[in-house]
């Protein structure tokens, strides 16, 4: 491995790991104000929304492919099955659709 | 001994919860391995990024920048900007982390990605090192092994399956969200607001993708919390 590649790997590792780790050592005693605790409790649902859109529309060149996959995932998940079936079911539906 | 059994149970739950991520990482990491080869990286370099950095979007981005001959400092800076969103995710996870030694939290923090965060954050009970170890080991192994496979043998999956598997992580995110949507109106509003804001930020090119996620998440979380607390105090 070239020296520049070593520096890239080390640098990328540091700037990726530090933001992942800092909150766990910064906020040890959970002394955050109530309002901030409320915000952090909102973060997971908000993040999921942002992770799904607009990515689901652009992961495939044809947006309808993503929309069909999302619809399948939503319907399967709504039945209350284990999440693995939601994942495998959506892949299955899209595989069948693209072979039609 | 009882605590060891309990830890093993948590570890297994983590492994099980990570199966969806492991499946979803396969097509993404195969593509990464393939792209790394065409970018003329060695196998060691390709695997080093997956093993040490372990951040999909940043690894793709680095390949693009290496190919066009971008300087080291810019590659590292771009990685930082792209991955600083994990600060917000770790801060949120820390709120539901059990009281354990700091070194344990610092260890599992290494494995926090968009996907492992989402699964851990939506878990009903609190999180601990044993659960996180299971969740991360299965996800991390899938990412590393599939990166190597993509480099060595290329696309092992048929084209149709490879394309369909691209939906896996989105299906998982939807699967994580739907149970809360059924019961909590607040969850619906949070997800929809952040999704809309993220679309606006991405399509208007206001922010790069890493910042767009941070800004849309924070704006939605803060504004909805503010409205919620005002309602509780009877001001609305």
pLDDT tens digits along B60-94: 999 999 999 899 999 999 999 999 999 999 999 99
The yes-or-no verdict on residue B1 having pLDDT over 70 is no
> Which token pair is A50?
């942002």
Distance, in Å, from the CA atom of A41 to the CA atom of A36, rounded to the nearest integer, reads 9
Contact B179 A23 (CB under 8 A): no
Element holding B236 (H helix, E strand): none
Which candidate in B16, B19, B173, B222 is best for mutational testing of the A interface (most A CBs within 10 A)? B173
Buried b (16+ CB within 10 A) or exposed e, B159-175: eebebbbbbbbbbbbbb
- Average confidence score pLDDT of chain B: 94
Q: Kindly list the distances between the CA atom of residue A52 and the CA atoms of A48, A66, B219, in Å, as whole numbers in the listed order.
A: 6, 10, 17
ipTM of the complex as predicted: 0.94
Q: Which of B72, B85, B198 sits opposite A11 (nearest CB)?
A: B72
Distance, in Å, from the CA atom of A79 to the CA atom of B124, rounded to the nearest integer, reads 19
Whether the CB-CB separation of B149 and B56 falls below 8 Å is answered with: no
A78 vs B contacts (CB less than 8 Å): 178, 182
Q: Chain A closest CA to B2's CA: distance in Å?
A: 27
């Amino acid at each position: 491995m070239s020296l520049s590649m070593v520096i890239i790997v080390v640098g990328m590792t540091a700037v990726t790991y530090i933001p992942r780790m800092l909150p766990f050592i910064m906020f040890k005693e959970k002394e955050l104000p109530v309002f901030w605790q409320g915000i952090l409790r909102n973060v997971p649902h908000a993040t999921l929304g942002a992770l799904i859109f607009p990515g689901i529309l652009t992961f495939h060149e044809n947006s309808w492919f993503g929309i069909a996959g999302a619809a399948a995932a939503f319907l399967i998940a709504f039945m209350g099955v284990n999440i693995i079936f939601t994942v495998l079911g959506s892949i299955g539906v899209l595989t069948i659709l693209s072979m039609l | 001994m009882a605590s060891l059994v309990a830890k093993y149970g948590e570890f297994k739950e983590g492994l099980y919860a990570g199966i969806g991520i492991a499946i979803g990482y396969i097509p993404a990491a195969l593509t990464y391995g393939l792209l790394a080869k065409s970018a003329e990286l060695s196998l060691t370099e390709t695997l080093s990024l997956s093993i040490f950095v372990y951040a999909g979007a940043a690894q793709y981005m680095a390949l693009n920048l290496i190919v066009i001959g971008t300087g080291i400092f810019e590659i590292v800076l771009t990685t930082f900007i792209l991955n600083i969103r994990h600060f917000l995710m770790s801060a949120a996870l820390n709120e539901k982390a059990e009281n354990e030694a700091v070194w344990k939290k610092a260890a599992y923090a290494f494995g926090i990605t968009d996907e492992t965060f989402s699964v851990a954050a939506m878990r009903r009970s609190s999180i601990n090192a044993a659960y996180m170890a299971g969740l991360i080991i299965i996800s991390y192994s899938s990412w590393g092994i599939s990166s190597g496979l993509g480099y060595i043998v290329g696309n092992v999956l048929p084209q149709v399956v490879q394309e369909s598997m691209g939906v896996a992580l989105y299906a998982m995110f939807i699967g994580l969200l739907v149970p809360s949507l059924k019961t909590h109106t607040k969850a619906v509003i949070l997800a929809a607001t952040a999704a809309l804001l993220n679309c606006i930020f991405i399509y208007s090119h206001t922010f790069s993708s890493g910042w767009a996620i941070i800004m849309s998440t924070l704006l939605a979380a803060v504004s909805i919390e503010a409205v919620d607390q005002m309602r509780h105090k009877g001001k609305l």
